[in-house]
Amino acid sequence: MDRAIPERSARRPWWKSDWFRVSLILTLLWGCSATISVYLIGPLISFVLMVCLALVPRFPIGLLALFILLVCLTTIPRFPFGPLNLYGDKTAEVLTEKVSYEVLSTEQAHPYLPGRSTLNRDIKAAITRWPDARSCLVSKERQLQKPDLRLIDWDQFSTSVEVNVCLWRIFRSFGTVEDGALKRARNWFQFHTNREIWSPRSSDGVQRMGISWRTSETGLVFPTSGIMSLFGFMVYSESVTATWRPDGTLRSVNFGHQIT
């Protein structure tokens, strides 16, 4: 007597499976939280969730989610911790308190690294791209007659050389020490972080002022996106240091990283 061979149940395609539907819903939720400037859904939880989805071989959508995650990490500024909009965490009251300046610095009036006869290619490119203080600011400030020099556009920079050129443009706009450059620089520092500003006295007449902050507390100021931002966890702290000559003119201003 022949045995009846049981028919094999038709296998549902993966795009109709419950696993796919669940992962699709979670991916959409994650995508919504990533595109809202204040990140309404916990970004860190979404990050861990997407990594878990990518590690499960039965989730083809998980691999796609991981790819999307990497794209977001390298293209969306300050992702996933926000804010998406630069200075979106500043109140309207703070933004209205503009820092005063003496004159808007330009390369023609106040050349970067004065006295140096030779400049490398990166410095020349940065000088050309950022010819004046106005070009270093966020787009809405560039059009104003009296822009707010605190609103430097960190999202535009791709190298530390570009950051230093723009910091030079901004701090040179504050004028000399006699013009009140130290007070203006202090106001600029206070806007960007609430850490204590150091300004040691010097017997040689050189004035120095700077500030440093832990990235674990304030996040990574630069870079805000791109491949290098993926290694932000290796940066322990960042700093900005300005130095004025004995005659009161700006000597240098530098942005720095301290690696763990």
Residues 30 and 151 in one domain: no
> Looking at residue 238, what is its pLDDT?
82
Final residue belonging to a domain, choices 75, 104, 121 = 75
Q: Give pLDDT tens digits for 88-145.
A: 778 888 888 889 999 999 999 999 986 666 778 889 999 999 999 999 999 999 989 9
pLDDT for 20 equals: 62
Q: In sequence order, what DSSP letters do the residues of the chain get, joined into one string?
A: -PPPPPPPPPPPPGGGSHHHHHHHHHHHHHHHHHHSTT--S-HHHHHHHHHHHHH-TT-HHHHHHHHHHHHHHHHSTTTTTS-SSTTTTS-HHHHHSPPP-S---BTTTS-SSTT-S---HHHHHHHHH--BSGGGB-HHHHTSSS--TT-B-GGG--SHHHHHHHHHHHHHHT--TTTTHHHHHHHHHHHH--SPPB----TTS-EEEEEEEEHHHH---S--SSGGGGGGGGEEEEEEEEEE-TTS-EEEEEEEEEE-
Q: What is the pTM of this model?
A: 0.70
Q: Are residues 61 and 123 in the same domain?
A: no
> Is 5 domain-assigned?
no
How many structural domains does the chain have? Answer: 2
Kindly state whether residue 3 falls inside one of the protein's structural domains: no
- Say if residue 22 is in the same domain as residue 137: no
pLDDT in tens, 198-257: 877 676 788 999 888 776 666 666 665 555 555 555 666 788 999 999 999 999 999 887
85, part of any domain: no
Average pLDDT of the residues of the chain: 75
Domain boundary among 32, 47, 75: 75
Q: What domain range includes position 198?
A: 92-259
